[in-house]
Each structure stands twice: as structure tokens, then as C-alpha cells.
Structure 1
Amino acid sequence: MKNESKTIALPSLGMALLPIVMTISLLAIQLFYYGDFTPHIPLALGAAIAAIFGWSRGYRWKEMEAGGFKLLHVAMPAMATLIVVGMLIGVLISSGTVPTLIYYGLELLSPRWFLAATMLMCAVVSLVVGSSWTTVGTLGLALMGIGIALGVPVYWTAGSIVSGAFFGDKMSPLSDTTNLSPAVTETNIFDHIKNMLPTTVPAMLIALVIYAWVGGSDPGDASSLTRITDIREGLSDAFQLGFWQLIPLLVILTLAFLKTAPIPALFTATVVGGVIAMLTQGVSFDAVLTYAHSGYTVETGVEALDTLLNRGGVTSMTWTVTLIIFALIFGGILEKTLCLEKVVQTITEKARSFRALQTSAVLTPMFVNAISGDVYLSIALPGRMYVSAYERLGYSRLNLSRAIEEGGTLVSPLIPWNVGGAFTITALGLTVGDGNFSDLLYIPLAFACWLSPLLSIIYAQFGLFSHKADPKKRPNSDQPAKLTSQDESGSPIPPSDENLALNISGVS
């Protein structure tokens, strides 16, 4: 069936930006004026505004509706994984897995080096499993409990968790976004990973030095010792702790090593966790089902511990999933009506030098991340729109794949209404809203996530690690990508969302 939107010319830059500016204004009013962090309705109004602008340009509602729902279709694996992670968190707490990690972590981790150790552990686990979300929802949750016991501010702990977890997501060949970036730019995945080392390694080292310098807490502090004692006693009284409780975590790591798809791997670990809960904690089958759906509940007598452990379940992800739905519909309508394409096209036309082009290629995914709420679109859209500009200047598309990975994957958890940011806030139990936004300080404290794209921009200004195209290499490594066809307005026609969805087989 012919796509009727092909006959509609690209909007003017002003027309493309107006619904975006109006939506950002609505978000700012609710967030900063009313002190209410519930961006769902502003994003819904933004989708309506974008649809009205699209209708005024000749788009039919069914076309724009299809655009929004197609983007939802692309992100369905991510949302399904969120739901399974919610189930997993509730069950892993009831099985004693998370309590065991907290209990022995308090004994093994040095309070003085807590933040540095947190980043390193999350980086290693995320690199192995290829999933920042799994790392944040399991090990990250346990580390939050350890940080609370040590008296470390939650935003410092969350920042170090995010820095480490999303490092693995960016560098692991098992990660979906690490596969998506070279796929849309038609580069080799291992060349892509190698090309990210010059920005990733310094960013991680700088972050590690900062976390080591800040430390964690004074090991001799009396209040910290009291909290540690209270939490360990509360855990030992409420749970059976030991090796058996770590089996679900070992299942996740094993299945990840075997390259099992994320959803069946996480669901298998959930089932194993439920069995462990029934066998070792005396939990009934009905209770396991309740914990998987509604989250775990316990009263240990230690307020900080109860706040940490009373969470998880499918229902805990409702706020996050609904936020993602609103954001994706808004982004999908903007993409369908070619508003995002117009903005990107304008940028590529203005970028006459490699310095400007590389800087734009890093910043554009950040822009799309913030507007659409979807990390996949933030990678896929610039990745297919910028190719011709790199060809024109004679530079390798590996520069582009690195730029979109850093502006897309790493910035995703730093935008609260993005899929990555919403999940991070929910999974780590960060308090946001009612005028209290102190926990959002994790955003500037996730040093590795914003230092890496910053280094990429700095390198571009001085021509460092900026590779020229090599015409001798194979097409899937460094040859010019196949250009997309163009519509009558000259705008590139993106590949079908169905094909894009096939490239997204994992989870962030």
C-alpha cells in the first residue's frame, strides 16, 4: 500500500520545532513550577499538539496513529523486559538473593572504597550480561541497600551504579544498542567496540578516580556502624542467607554467557528464584505469585531496610511503562510527520566540517532521547540520516556509530522520562516529586555517562581518533552505507519499523 505521507513536503524548521518547544514548556511548567514529576500528561498533550500540527499539514490521523504505534512496536521488547525485571526484583527479594548480597556485601566491601567498588562491580556484571537494566535491577538494588547502611547519599550510590551498568551496555557485544549502532551505520560490531575505547576508557578512569576520592563513608563512624549492625541483624532475622540464595543470580549470568535472549533468561531466573523462596524461606506458592505481581512486603523493624526491600513486582513498573508509552507515541508522531527528520536534515546541511558534523552526531541522539523518550529511535534516526554527510566529507562511519552510541545509550539513563531514566528511578527506588528532586542528583554524578560523549566532542575538535574512510574495507566494516531512498520532498525514507524491530533482540 502506498504511503500517502510521501507526497507531503518536509515542514519548515519552525513548524518542526514548535510542537517540540511547546511540549518541553509543558514539561518545564509541571516540573519546575508545580514541583510535580509526572511527565505523562504533558507528553500526552505534546502528542496531541504534534498531531494537530501534522493534521494542518495534510496528515491523516490514521497515519500519525500508525507512526506512534509502530514506534511502540519497536520498543515492545524493552517494555516486556521491564515487566519481567519487575517480577524478578520482587521474587529475588523474597528468595533472599538481594538480602544475601546486601548482608555479605556489608562484610566484604570497604566503606572507604564503596563508590569505586560499586562502579567496577556493575561494569563487570553489565559487560558479561550485556544488560544495564538487569544489572541495575539486581546487583544495583543490593548496592543501594549497602550504601544506605553505610550512610552514603543515595544519589552518589545511584550515580556510580549507572556509570558502571551503562558502561557494560555500551561495550558488551551482547547488548542490543551495541548491536543496533553498527547495524544502522553498516559497520562491524567489533570495529565499533574497538573504536569506542578511546572515549570509554578515559571516561571510566576519570569516574573511578572521582568515586575513589569521594570514597563512601568513614569505616570508624559510629552511626554507620550502628546502621550496618541493625541492617545485618534485620536481614539475618527475616531471611535464610547463604549460597543457595545466590543460585538465581548465577542462572542469569550463565544464561547470559550462553547468549540466551533476555526475556526467557530473566523469566527463568524468576522461576528459579520462586523455587528457592519456597524451599529455603518457607514462602508459599501463592505468596511467590503475589510478590511477582505486586512486589515483596516485609517488616524487619529497621525502617531503612523495609523501605529498600518493599518493592518489585509487575505493578511497580506501571508508572514506567505508561510513561514510555506516552513518550513513544509523541516521538512516533514527530517522526511520522517528518519533524525530527527536518531537524536532523537541517543540522547535517549546516555541518560543513568534520568537527561540526561529529559534534552534531553526538548531540542529536541526546535531543531525540529527550524528545521521544526512546533510546532506539535516538540511535536509529541519526544513524541512518547522517551517513551521507560522513560520506561527503570522506570520514569513516565508525565515527558515526560511536557518536550515536554515546549520545544515545549513555545519555538515556540521564533523562528522567526516557525509558532508561524512568527505569533507573523506579528500580533503584529514587524519590522524585512533591518538590523533592535531590535524588535526581545522580544524573550529574553518573560521570562516565556524560564524560564519554564529551570526550568524543573534544576529540573531534582536534582531529583525534577521527578516522578517514577506507575504501578497501568490506561493506560491513567501513564502506559507504546503502543510502535510503528519498521521498518527493527529498527526505530520506527510513527503513521499515518492522525491520528495525528485528535488530532489537535484547534489552538496554
Structure 2
Amino acid sequence: MSTEAKAPRRPTLFLALVPVVLTLLLLALQLFYFSDFTPQIPLAIGLAITGVLGIYLGHDWSGLEEGVFRVITVSLPSVSVLIVVGMIIGVWIASGTVPTLIYYGLIILSPKIFLAAAMVMCAIVSLSLGTSWGTVGTVGLALMGIGAGFDVPMYWTAGAVVSGAFFGDKISPLSDTTNLAPAVTGQNLFAHIRNMMPTTVPAMLIALGIYVWAGFSLMEGVDGAAFERIDAITSALQTNFTISPWLLVPALLVVALAVLQQPPIPSLFAGVLVGGLVAIIAQGVTLHEVFQFANGGYKIDTGVSEIDSLLNRGGIQSMMWTISLILIALGFGGVLERTGCLQTIIAAILTKVHSFAGVQTAAIGTSFATNLVAGDPYLSIALPGRMYSPVYRGMGYSTLNLSRATEEGGTLMSPLIPWNAGGAFVITALGLGISSGNLENLLYIPLSFACWVTPVIGIIYAWTGLFSPRAGEAERQDWVDSDREITDMSQYGYEHPLTPADAQTVPAE
């Protein structure tokens, strides 16, 4: 009698969709029926449902557990960034760095160009730092304060901040997601960045134009009361903090380290240390208070509600809600991948598309759907990148198209999904109050124009053939030399499948 263990079965499309659909229904029930934005429990139940399905399919518990923890392990650098950013927020408020940014922003910036300026500032900082999260948690937080002073709705400011921060992250060679996308598709980093420009630049120009128009429209009725509020905020900041350009040293140090291409986590932590030193010297706080601010966040009562609501935040503990959500969402994504549910759904999609335009649209949509269901921007890049690469090679198209698609549906859509790692961080760091039931601030999602306009432009290019490169001679030769897998496209309804041996004969347009 054979003692060999049977290989787990691949789920049918129906079974693969069951945990996905049930989890989305639970999320909708929690968010829209109960008006309670705590997606951790629906996602945990979804993880359990998928685990039960995995057992039914023949997986053992240790294998499912390994699938969960493998994805969580990959995300630990991002969790580390969250912890450090939490410390930065608390310490930079105490040091006066954030209050100084708000003070000078209210004095220098014009209310009518504020939204456009906010997007551009975040784009520059994120491009330099290579981290959208670090940008949102530092410069983005200060911009939220400036916007409050100008009486700009929080969701408009948050939309501009997210547009700029995630644009910079997408094209920065220092960004982890920007490096991941070409890595999983077998492409060069800088070729990948260049190939993203045809979608990214127009999207940013469109967003910039909308923010300029919105700024003039929102500020058209600015009256004396608004300027009195700005005076009240700047006066309160001067009363409670020492305000000086020298207090921007922690922020400038972090930017300088990024320009020198130092790793993000130690660069951000250096900002924490220098910020703590500045807090002691300039604001007169004690070392013990710095420790408290880094762990539990800053606390102040100025009597000005706009300042108090903005500056009472930060610290490691403020990130625990976000971290718990990320870990559960990643665990859910990991078990979906381990049981083969995601792969089955992607394979079903490929049987329905029979053109490059269809495949490109499907790749963008799959990255977005993985973000939506699994809650992980890394999985939304890595999984479609692995699954679709042989298909692009089989069609003779450069996988640069795929690496761009995964960035458009992965990196840029991450902050627009509230229970995704990116969305959860944006909501927490910018103080949007979603967890307390203030669902109006979810309007930042459609107002983050650069994020969702980019994939729309990418889909238009796919269907028109613009900026959709075929594989060149060098890339086709690389397929042969590296023995990269090329999918037999006949299984998806194509008449002329390719093999590695004849891949180099694919005609280039």
C-alpha cells in the first residue's frame, strides 16, 4: 500500500470564488450596514473560510500556515517603515518640525494653489525618499494642517497628498514596489521607469489641472472669517511651539540621506533621533517625554480645534490598528495564493481574453482585484507578474507592458482601498477618522486623481496600440538564454503558440 501523500487538488472556479465573494460580502456588511470601519474581523473570517477550503482540497495545516507567514514575512520591511513613521510623527510634532511646516505653509502658500502645490511637494519628496508612506506621514501630515487652516475639506487635501506621494513612489528607483515590478517580470529597473512615463506624466498633468481648478473654486468665497482662522492657528502655533527654519533640520536630513541613496528605514530612524534632540533643545521637553511621544504620540490642548485634532497623534501605538489590519489582510492573501484560488481565477480570466489589449486590461484588473481581496500591494504586483509573464512572452510582447500594468493596478490603487495596507495607512496617518464612522472622508478616494487616471490611460493605450512595445531582439534572445517560460497560448484559444526555441522569431512592430 502506497504511503505517498496525495497532492492537493486545484480548486474549481466556483470554489475559488467562494472565499473571495463571502469575504467581500462581510466587508460590505461591516462597512455599509453596520457603519463600522473595522475590517479586521471580516478578513480574519475570510482567512478561516479559505483555510477550511484548503483542508478540503487536501492541503495540510502546516502548508497553509507556511503560505500565510511567507507573505507576512515579505511585508515585514513595510511594517518596520510603519513603526518608524509612527515615531517620526510623534517626535517631529514635539520638536516643532511639523508645526513649523504648517506655520510657514499658511504664510507662504496661496489658498488657491494649495492643492496643486500639495501634490507637487509630495511628488518631489516621495521621489527623493522612495517611500509613499514616509511622505504621507511627514509632509502629508503637515499639509493636512495647512489645508485645515485654509478651510479646505480634509478629503480634498488627502486626495492631493495621495496623488503626489504615490506618483513619486511609483517612479522612484529607491522604491521597493518600483524595484519589485521589473524583478518579477524579468525587466531592467530603469527601462521599467521609462516605460511608465507615457501613462504617469499625462495623469499627473490632468490631476494638476483639476487641483488648480478646484483650488480656485473652493477658495472663491474666502472671506474675512477664513483669514481670522488662519491668524488664530498661526498665533496658537507660535504660543505653544518655538517656530524657526532651523527646526526643519530633521526633515532636511532625511531628504539628504535619501538623495545619497541610503536605505529608507535607517534614514527615517535618523530623522527620529535628530527630531528627539531638536525637541529637547528647542522645545524644552525631557528625554522621557521624547520616549513617550515616540511610543504613544504627542498630546496638546491649544484651545484651537484645528490644531488639536491634527497634532494629537503619532507614536508607535497609533500604528497598531493599521499593522493589525495589514497582517490579517496579508495572511488572507497568503492563504488564497497557497490554496490556488487566485491562480484559478487568473487562469479563468485568460481563457476569456484573446488579444494583447485584453491581456493588458486583465493584468491591470488582476492587480487591482488582488489589492482589493488580498489587501497587499506586494502580492498585487508579484502574483500577476509571475502568472502573466509567460503569456506576454507567448504573444511576443515586451513584459515592460506587464510591469507597468502591475504598478498601475497595484502600487497606485493600493491607497484607494481602505482595508488595503496602503489605504489603511493613509487613513491613519492623515487622521481621516474613518474608523470612528466619519465615512465622508472616503471621498479622498475619487479625489486621488493621479492614482486612478493612470490605469485608465494605460487601458486606453492597450486598446489603441500606443506605447505598447513588442519584444525587441535583445529581449527575445534573453528569453532563450535564460530559458524563461513561454506559455503555450493554444490552451487559451490562440492559434499560433510560441515555444522557447522559436521565441526569437517573433516579428517586432
TM-score (normalizing by structure 1): 0.92
The amino acid of 2:415's aligned partner reads P
Please report how far the alpha carbon of residue 9 of structure 1 lies from its aligned counterpart in structure 2 after TM superposition.
2.9
Task: Find the structure with the greater CA-based Rg.
Answer: 2
2:404 paired residue number: 402
Counterpart for residue 170 of structure 1:
170
CA 1:346 to 1:284, structure 2 compared with 1: closer, same or farther past 3 Å?
same
Q: Provide the secondary structure at the position in 2 that maps to 1:350.
A: coil
Secondary structure of residue in 2 paired with 1:466: coil
2:428 is matched with which residue: 410, 419, 426? Answer: 426
2:231 partner SS? helix
Name the residue aligned to 1:228.
Answer: 230
Partner AA of 1:421 in structure 2: G
Question: What amino acid sits opposite 1:190 in the alignment?
Answer: F
Distance, in Å, in 1 between the alignment partners of 2:209 and 2:481 is: 39
Structure 2 counterpart of 1:469, from 455, 468, 471: 471
Deviations 1:268-319 (A, max 9, x none): 1100000000001000000000000000011111111011000000000010
Residue 175 to residue 479, structure 1, CA distance change in 2 (3 Å): farther
Q: 1:235 to 1:219 in 2, by over 3 A?
A: farther
Percent of aligned pairs with the same amino acid: 56
Distance in structure 2 (CA, Å) of the matches to 1:65 and 1:450? 34
Counterpart in the other structure of 1:262:
264
Contact residue 110 and residue 219 of structure 1 kept, 8 A: no
Map residues 63-462 of structure 1 onto 2, 5 A cutoff: 63-215=63-215, 216-218=218-220, 220-433=222-435, 435-462=437-464
Shift of 1:27: 0.6
Contact 2:394 2:486 in 1 (8 A): no
Q: Distance in 1 between matches of 2:161 and 2:36?
A: 25
Distance 2:88 2:28 in 1: 34
Alignment partners' CA distance in 1, 2:422 and 2:256: 24
Q: 1:81 to 1:5 in 2, by over 3 A?
A: farther
> Which protein, 1 or 2, shows the higher relative CO under an 8 Å CA cutoff with sep ≥ 6?
1
Corresponding letter in the other structure for 1:9: R
SS in 1 for 2:318: helix
Q: Which amino acid aligns with 2:130?
A: G
Aligned-partner Cα distance in 1 for 2:420–2:404: 20
**Gaps (5+ residues) in structure 1?**
487-508
State the shift of 1:436 in Å. 2.7
Asked if 1:42 is matched to 2:42, the reply is yes
Q: Which 5+ residue runs of structure 2 have no aligned equivalent?
A: 489-509
Q: Deviations over 1:222-242 (max 9, x none)?
A: 121011001000100011111
Do the aligned partners of 1:186 and 1:481 also contact (CA within 8 Å) in 2?
A: no
SS at match of 2:419: coil
Report the CA distance shift for 1:484/1:253 in structure 2 as closer, same or farther (over 3 A): farther
Shift in alpha-carbon separation, 1:477–1:276, aligned structure 2, 3 A? farther
Distance 1:410 1:354 in 2: 22
Report if the CA contact (8 A) 1:469-1:479 is conserved.
no
Amino acid at match of 2:73: H
1:304-361 CA distances to partner (integer Å, 9 max, x unpaired)? 1011000000000010000011101111111111111111122223321001000001
Tell me what 1:493 maps to.
Answer: none
Q: Secondary structure at the match of 1:59?
A: coil
In the alignment, the residues of structure 2 paired with residue 398 and residue 475 of structure 1 have an alpha-carbon distance, to the nearest angstrom, of 15
* CA–CA separation in structure 2 for the residues paired with 1:18 and 1:237: 58
The answer to whether the Cα contact below 8 Å between 1:354 and 1:460 also exists between their aligned partners in 2 is yes
1:193-216 Cα distance to aligned partner (Å, 9 max, x none): 111111001100110110000115
Work out whether residues 368 and 409 of structure 2, in 8 Å CA contact, stay in contact via their aligned partners in 1.
yes
Q: Distance in 1 between matches of 2:424 and 2:313?
A: 15
The offset of 1:136, in angstroms, is 0.5
Report the 3-state secondary structure (helix = DSSP H, G, I; strand = E; otherwise coil) of the residue aligned with 1:386: helix
Q: Supply the AA of the counterpart residue of 1:58.
A: G
Moved more, 340-349 or 85-94: 340-349
Q: Does structure 2 conserve the Cα–Cα contact (< 8 Å) formed by 1:128 and 1:256? A: yes
Q: CA deviation at 1:485?
A: 12
AA matched with 2:34: Y
Range 446-455 or range 261-270, more displaced: 261-270
Structure 2 residue identity aligned to 1:187: Q
Equivalent position of 1:29 in the other structure: 29
Change (3 A) 1:234 1:12: same
Q: Distance in 2 between matches of 1:344 and 1:205?
A: 33
CA offset digits 1:45-72 (Å, max 9, x no partner): 0000000111111111111111101111
- The CA deviation string for residues 376-418 of structure 1, in whole angstroms up to 9 with x for no partner, is 0100000011011111111111000100011100000000111
Q: Distance in 2 between matches of 1:457 and 1:191?
A: 20
Task: Indicate conservation of the 8 Å contact 2:391/2:486, yes or no.
Answer: no
Q: Could you tell me how far 1:432 is from its partner in structure 2?
A: 1.1
CA deviation after TM superposition for structure 1 residue 5, in Å: 9.4
Q: Which residue of 2 aligns with 1:506?
A: none
State how far apart, in whole Å, the 2-side matches of 1:415 and 1:478 are.
39
Alpha-carbon distance in structure 1 between the residues aligned to 2:272 and 2:437:
36
Are the aligned partners of 1:470 and 1:479 in contact in 2 as well (CA < 8 Å)? no
Distance in 2 (CA, whole Å) between partners of 1:6 and 1:436 is 50
Contact 1:406 1:452 survives alignment (8 Å): yes
| Conserved 8 A contact 2:397-2:469 | yes
CA contact (8 A) 2:68 2:335 kept: yes
- CA shift, 1:175, in A, is 0.7
Distance 1:452 1:479 in 2: 34
Aligned length: 483
Cα distance in 2, alignment partners of residues 5 and 481 from structure 1: 31
CA 1:453–1:154 in structure 2 vs 1: closer, same or farther (change >3 Å)? same
Aligned-pair CA distance for 1:474:
7.9
Compared with structure 1, are the counterparts of its residues 97 and 412 closer, same or farther at alpha carbon in structure 2 (3 Å cutoff)? same
- Is the CA contact 1:294–1:314 (under 8 Å) kept in the aligned structure 2? yes
Q: TM-score of the superposition, structure 2-length normalised?
A: 0.92
2:309 is matched by which residue type in structure 1?
A: T
Which deviations, in whole Å up to 9, do the C-alpha atoms of 1:422-445 show, x marking residues without a partner? Answer: 000000000114543000100000
